[in-house]
Amino acid sequence: MATLLAFPILGALAVLQTSLVSRVPLLLGTPDLMLLVIAAWALQKKVETAWQWTVVAGVLATLSSALPIGVAFVSYGIATGLALLLRQRIWQAPVLAMFLVILTGTLVFHGLSIVALRLVGDPIPVLEALNLVTLPSLLLNLLLAAPTFYLIADLASWLYPAEVEV
């Protein structure tokens, strides 16, 4: 059921990302809602479907952006892998792990985007891209990290209720 729930949740986030969030940038940066959700989902203790959510998010991000195909898959995959690794190692402070995953995921996504766009012939000035897009996006992602983590924690506790011992 958790895997099937990824389609409407991430689909709604893709629509929200492309329609509303992209129209209200900070400088030229916008938050990456799908990165926030898949990182928060992967950091939940009982969740076993983190990779499935990552694939769905990668497909939706690829379909809704003009970036080359591998950028969303690779960056979301790195973020999910880091989140799963931190979930095993840092079990007492998952919100701090969320900040680290979002920091890394945002930098990887934007770094891969800059490299991929330069490879296909789009002459993006690297310093301007970092100053006007990456840093504002990073700030917005970090501001939304904790609220997203707690919303996804509520969803995970609803989908994976605690077992009651009798």
The one-letter amino acid at 165? E
Domain limits, the chain: 2-159
- Higher local confidence (pLDDT), 25 or 12: 12
Concatenated DSSP letters of 25-84: -BTTB---HHHHHHHHHHTSTT---HHHHHHHHHHHHHHTSSS-HHHHHHHHHHHHHHHH
Picking from 47, 142, 156, the residue whose alpha carbon sits closest to that of residue 95 is 142
Residues in the chain, overall count:
166
pLDDT digits (tens, 9 = 90+) for 93-127: 889 999 999 999 999 999 999 999 888 888 788 89
Give me the phi and psi of 25, to 5 degrees please.
Answer: -85, 160
Name the pLDDT band for 165 (thresholds 50, 70, 90): low
C-alpha pair distances (Å), 66 with each of 52, 60, 63: 23, 12, 8
pLDDT digits (tens, 9 = 90+) for 19-78: 988 888 888 899 999 999 999 999 998 888 999 999 999 999 999 988 888 899 999 999
Note the pTM of the prediction, 2 decimals: 0.91
**Confidence (pLDDT) at 77:** 96
Q: Residue 126, SS3?
A: helix
